[in-house]
Amino acid sequence: MAGYILRRLVSTIAVMVTVGIFVFLLLRLAPGDPAAMIAGRSATEEMIAGIREQLGLNDPMPFQFIRWVRDMLAGDFGTSILAGRPVLELLSQRLEPTLSLAILTMILAVTVGVSFGVLAAWRAGGFVDRILTGFSALGYSVPVFVIGFFLVYFFAVRTHWLPVQGYVPMSNSIALWFMHLILPTVTLGLGFIAFIARVTRASMLEVLSEDYMRTAAAKGASSYAMLFHHALKNAGVPILTVVGISFAYLIGGVVITETVFNIPGIGRLVVDAINNRDYPIIQSVLILTSGLYVLINLTVDLTYMLIDPRIRY
């Protein structure tokens, strides 16, 4: 186990270095001059040159990359070009809305998705299975922004049951916090519900066809015991894998969802940073999300042993 973790950590470092080089070059080689955008349209060439010198954009790219990596390892992710404030400060202010949306979405997706998958496998080929399978295909194929606009139109514009946009911190009101997150959570969660349900159904069907499941049925085991005590546990590895992948991919969906529902989270911050060529914010978010993705994959791999004792590294 220790050797496996060490190998994964070494590969993680290699992956992060590769991602860092790619992010650094992608932003530096993109068209446009961040110094000119900061200076404004009325700026002179001398002003733009001064800003470039202040930001270190005149240095050779290898020196810029080394300085950037050195500062990040020291905990300094730079200062926002437009806001003039530390990037970590801006990210910390936007963390609560994004984290709230992500956690609620995963709770909804795992709970409903696994339940739908188990129910569809239990009634395989029947009416319930066809309905759930059709719902899964629809939820997995419809884009997030389409679902969002439809839910806003029906539940906010037509019926006025839920707020249209915005975010209320949990410290102000838990009820309002939850009300403002219902539509974004459902919008973002439908695709993941469909994805998890389809994988759960396929994995459960494979386990239910095993001989030991027929033996359990012959011994008089109840449907609940067969589904949840035997089948679901043995089908847990593929389900855990897809849950980990879904949580990692959730980051991309958060950006679109926060834009649709005007939630002041990290996704909105990234969109604004891209529009304004704010290098420090874009680079920091990409590096942090890449590290989170790798960490999730490592955690999922190590959790396999808790589900299936036969797995050893």
For position 192, what pLDDT does the model report? Answer: 86
Structural domains for the chain: 1-87 (no CATH), 88-307 (1.10.3720.10)
Range with lowest mean pLDDT among 17-26, 37-46, 69-78? 37-46
Question: How many CA atoms, within 13 angstroms, populate the side-chain half-sphere of residue 258?
Answer: 26
Handedness of CA 237, 238, 242, 243 (dihedral sign): negative
Banded pLDDT at 39 (limits 50, 70, 90): low
Q: What digits encode the pLDDT tens for the residues 266-303?
A: 888 888 887 777 778 888 888 888 888 888 877 877 77
For position 232, what pLDDT does the model report? Answer: 76
DSSP type of residue 227: I
Q: Is residue 55 over pLDDT 80?
A: no
Q: Is residue 95 over pLDDT 60?
A: yes
Q: Is residue 33 over pLDDT 70?
A: no
Q: Is residue 309 over pLDDT 70?
A: no
Query: Among residues of the chain, what percentage have pLDDT more than 70?
Result: 89
Nearest-angstrom CA–CA distance, 232 and 306 = 14
pTM for the predicted model, two decimal places: 0.78
Q: DSSP per residue over 145-186, as a string? A: HHHHHHHIIIIIIIS--S-SS----TTT-HHHHHHHHHHHHH
